[in-house]
Structure 1
Amino acid sequence: MEKADVIFLNGKVATVDDEFSLAEAVAVKSGWIIAVDSNEKIKKYLDEATEVIDLQGKLMLPGTHDAHMHGVHTGLSLSPLFLDVRFPKVKKISDLQEIIRAAVEKVPEGAWIVGMGWNEMLIEECLAEGRTLKKWDLDVVSPNNPVVLNDYGAHRMVVNSQALGRCDISEKTPDLPPEAGLIERLENSREPTGYLNEWGAQVLVWQQVPTLPAEEIEACILEMNRELNKYGITSHVDILGIGGNQLIRGTWGEKSIGIYEKLAREDKLTARVSINLLAGIDGIQSYQAITEGLEKTTLPDFQDRNWVKAETVKIFGDGGGWLRENNQVVGDHGRSTFPGETDLAQEKELIKTIIEVHRRGWQLGIHAIGGRTIDTIIEGYKQALEKYPRENPRHFIIHGDDMTVENAQVAARYDISMSVQAVAAYQMMDFMRLRFDEEYGNALFAWDVYQKAGVNVANGSDSNIFSLNWLEGAQFAVTRQTVSGNKYRPDLTSERADVIRMYTINGAKQEHLEAVRGSIEVGKVADFQILDQDILMIPPEEIGKTKVVMTMVDGKIVYKNS
């Protein structure tokens, strides 16, 4: 009989198989699971060379798959020179100014200062005055250093006067097409305020900021892997490609794809990665920019697609949202990121792009916040699948905040998945729901309803925008309670087993990899996490406080909480 390299005994092993069955022990050989059974039956795989790990009754789960995040960017954000300007660190403009002031003291005069995280809804002066941050909020503490700060969602940016001057953004700079972005200007003047929206506007700044060299990108990936492992995450998505070459110091660019593959071949990765290709040249979302970007994309020869692969195209269908005409909404109706003078024209351009990318054989993952975007994407997927049928593309919607039951029913018929972020709802639902009338807004994020309609719902973090702690997201999904303690529609909570599926096997299905990971079954990779509490049994409000004791990837311990 084949003997194991490692056996795990005396645990509560949630296999996440079709029945969500439980076991006591697992045997692993050469990074693959060879048996899942009782303690006594697993012991027959033991010999003098086998390592034995006593789980001491703790819960073992498959490793978490983070179904949507920005990996290299997350690694950059862990750098001490990358400013964290999120709430609650920044409640007032003076808080932000002190963070910038401290950074200015650490870098040479003239050096770029970058960071991310501000939210005007959580900054006292911005909320009171009904505005975003402006250049004058930064100038007072950074007269000689260019400062670039993305908001919490990365779609918006504020820069100081030094940065505007370095980038030659002035009254003479032409306005951008609406689909490219916005250079905000003073009322009754063409003077830029320092606020920029969407990728076409941001490229004007980022193309002047030095991109990271290869060795720093490698360091970002390895640091990010270590951070993932602390949270039991053993595989993840990253958004990279030619369209990100000039975004956020190049951390969204195509150079990183080759570095991931290099690290995999050197056996240095401790988390598997599925890359979603950002193809639109300069971040622009249009038929021309995306198809041209795909034609120019050259991928490495992936040695082991269980470790690194790139089979999906990422498209931004909207930024902050493109809302339905009949929506009860506070504020702007929004628009698609695609060109067109009208909603209908934007819709046609987006659907045309979906059909063409599908025709070329790619899987599609499309960012969609607003209901009009979601409706359009589902219609585009339907038309693509009917015009060019093929088996199991598993196109998906990223975020899907304004998904409806009707959307879910259609999505299930066409095997359209969702890639959602429960931790975002945990941290932000109190504010997000304000865009809608109360009854409708309280019913957002009804993942249990979508799953019961037959939709595969995978879950992630959208890091570095939100926390990597998947257990906080799991807690929200089973309680509908936000970080502030507010509960919304507790009748829409999800069962714990279904939530665990969202973070494990459902993510593997999104990646077409359910045959090799996502559950603890014979013939799958030995990617596990062990928790200090049994999240199947503890009070639901305690799930987010649970800690990962140990993480294993490929049968090797990659994290251990001392």
Structure 2
Amino acid sequence: MLDLKLVKARIFTMADAPSTAHAMGVLHGRIIGFDDDVLDLPARRTLDCGGAVVVPGFGDSHNHMAWFGQSLAELDLSGCRTLEELYDAVSRFARGLPEGAWVVGSGYDDTVLGGHPHRSGLDRSAPGRAVWLKHRSGHMCAVNSEVLGRTGVLDGSAIVPEGGTVVEDSGGPTGLLEEQAQKLVTALVVPYPVTDLADAIGAASGVYASEGLTHVVEAGIGSGWIGRSPVELAAYVEARRRGLLKTRVQMMAVSDALHPLQSNAADGISFGLDLGITSGFGDDHLRLGAMKIFIDGSLIGRTAAVTEPFCDHDHGNGSFQLSPGELARRIIDAHCSGWNVAAHAIGDSAVDVALDAFEAAHRKLARPDARHRIEHAGMVRPDQLPRFAALGVTPVPQPHFLYEVGDTMVDAVGEERTPWLYRHKSFLDSGVRVPGSSDRPVAAGAPLLGMQSMVTRASSGGATLSPQERVDAETALRAYTVDTAWMAGEEDRRGTLEPGKFADLVFLSAHPADVPPHEIGQISVLATLLDGACVFGHGYIEKLQSTASSHPIPTLRGTEHATP
């Protein structure tokens, strides 16, 4: 007796064989077979799909789930086009807050506004309140005098962390804090309560389910300017316990959360988390992934480390978060202690540092099974491409950056270096995978939008960035299914629809290859199933259910709170 049977569907398995099917059977959350192997089997629930497209659940190899979830309750600044609009938005938002509450906003873009918010403008907008506005990149923020006073910046008592900058003009601090200097602000609010973080994770998970996501990688928890709490993992456990988690999650531990360990010399475990916990610990719903280490900043903020100066900014060649020597030491120690490593490296100089460190790590201890990665790999020179394959390092770029911030990235690096930006096909041609990811909330995270950007490489300004790096729709779909599963080390459980794998499914209004490239992002996600249970689109699934079925499709608690 099957738990669930799909019939009359257009099932694209993404496996080598069979690649398509019209019927599928599910038992205990796993796929058991297709077509003739399951058509005659009885089932508790049968869905007559009427030709609907069914594909494996989507994955996102790099997102910030708690950050995004929290941003849903913050002042959204992404629509502001001038500084005056931003100041007005802050003023209106502040008037609706209780006494003493902070004004927290996110998503502003200085390249659109014509500059960063100044503390004097923020002081006028929300007198007497603390104001904290987060840049869309996450690598800088703007605060008012109230916050600067609390951090000790105004009286000179603040100790600016290495790798951070407190920006000043002729009048002193402007309120702009770059990179590690943001810790001066986060120290005032972190750690957030686990319950609040669980709520934010649940809110994010609901949105993800509505977009067809069944697995995401949280790119940094526990410490650093990106961490929400030293006990952040507990928030994900709490969200799962309360039935808020509708997505499988793999979590990266920020390198700052790791520390020297004492073990037997024969073990070689010298750096990590207490008890020797390392990459892979957990279960099929919550699992620990790579160690996340920040090498440089961002292209949007012109703090990425590049070999030649930026064309439009006074930051010169960007900056490193720590000295290259210290960065390499942490990568090598983590590698030798059994960790996979995710190195945030956007500029080509930062990519050099990451590749050199991975090469040194493998020389010290050969680990052919390691799945090291370079997050973003935003600007990669031709001579660097073969090193990725030779070292077994996977790039994790964000294709939708091309649409949202592609034009300003071109301004930053100039015409000669534009072909190096957020490559795709050249990585594939070099023999490495390119998993799909978003870096949400830095950019919109819907996988179908990401696929569209992989195929079109169009910017919001109407330009086509390096058309030679475009891929076809089938390759884009594989990036968000097959390759995201492989990057997480879970290709034996998900990523394709095959017997024995999770029944993580997405129902779509069309296959990405069946619509014009510029319409891929408009394809509707009709329903999402995790372990064969509906986590989004319950009404749609009910319509498909055979009138002969007497039992409803199960719905995980809270699933209908997802935002389509």
Q: Distance in 2 between matches of 1:101 and 1:545?
A: 35
How do 1:3-402 and structure 2 match up within 5 A? 3-18=1-16, 21-36=19-34, 38=35, 40-47=36-43, 49=44, 51-79=45-73, 82-86=74-78, 89-124=79-114, 126=115, 132-173=116-157, 176=160, 179-187=162-170, 191-199=172-180, 201-209=181-189, 211-244=191-224, 247=225, 252-264=228-240, 268-280=244-256, 294=272, 305-320=283-298, 321-326=303-308, 329-331=311-313, 332-339=315-322, 346-402=323-379
Distance change >3 Å, CA 302–CA 216, structure 1 → 2: farther
**Letter of the 1:477 counterpart:** M
Distance change >3 Å, CA 85–CA 263, structure 1 → 2: closer
Q: Secondary structure at the match of 1:217?
A: helix
Give the match for residue 435 of structure 1: 412
Give the match for residue 517 of structure 2: 540
Q: Distance in 2 between matches of 1:264 and 1:535?
A: 32
* Structure 1 residue 296 displacement after superposition: 6.0
Task: Summarize deviations over 1:273-318 as a string: whole Å, max 9, x none.
Answer: 10000131699xxxxxxx9994569869999521111131000010
What is the TM-score with the length of structure 2 in the denominator?
A: 0.87
Task: Summarize deviations over 1:458-517 as a string: whole Å, max 9, x none.
Answer: 111111221121111111111121233321232321121211111111111111110001
Distance change >3 Å, CA 268–CA 295, structure 1 → 2: closer
**Letter of the 2:176 counterpart:** Y
Number of residues of Structure 1 aligned to a counterpart in Structure 2: 525
* Structure 1 residue 22 displacement after superposition: 1.7
Distance change >3 Å, CA 302–CA 499, structure 1 → 2: closer
- In structure 2, the gaps of 5 or more residues are 260-268, 541-564
Q: Distance in 1 between matches of 2:239 and 2:335?
A: 30
**Letter of the 1:229 counterpart:** A
Contact 2:418–2:466 (CA<8 Å) still a contact in 1? no
Contact 1:257–1:299 (CA<8 Å) still a contact in 2? no
**Letter of the 2:389 counterpart:** A
Q: Distance in 2 between matches of 1:327 and 1:203?
A: 27
Contact 1:184–1:196 (CA<8 Å) still a contact in 2? yes
Q: Distance in 2 between matches of 1:326 and 1:301?
A: 35
Q: Secondary structure at the match of 2:329?
A: helix
Contact 2:270–2:337 (CA<8 Å) still a contact in 1? no
**Letter of the 1:13 counterpart:** I
* Structure 1 residue 19 displacement after superposition: 6.0
Contact 1:505–1:518 (CA<8 Å) still a contact in 2? yes
Task: Summarize deviations over 1:241-296 as a string: whole Å, max 9, x none.
Answer: 4324xx47xx633322123234445655210110000131699xxxxxxx999456
Identity rate, percent: 26
Distance change >3 Å, CA 357–CA 471, structure 1 → 2: same
**Letter of the 2:156 counterpart:** K
Distance change >3 Å, CA 303–CA 352, structure 1 → 2: closer
Q: Distance in 2 between matches of 1:295 and 1:443?
A: 36
Contact 2:310–2:317 (CA<8 Å) still a contact in 1? no
- In structure 1, the gaps of 5 or more residues are 127-131, 284-290, 340-345
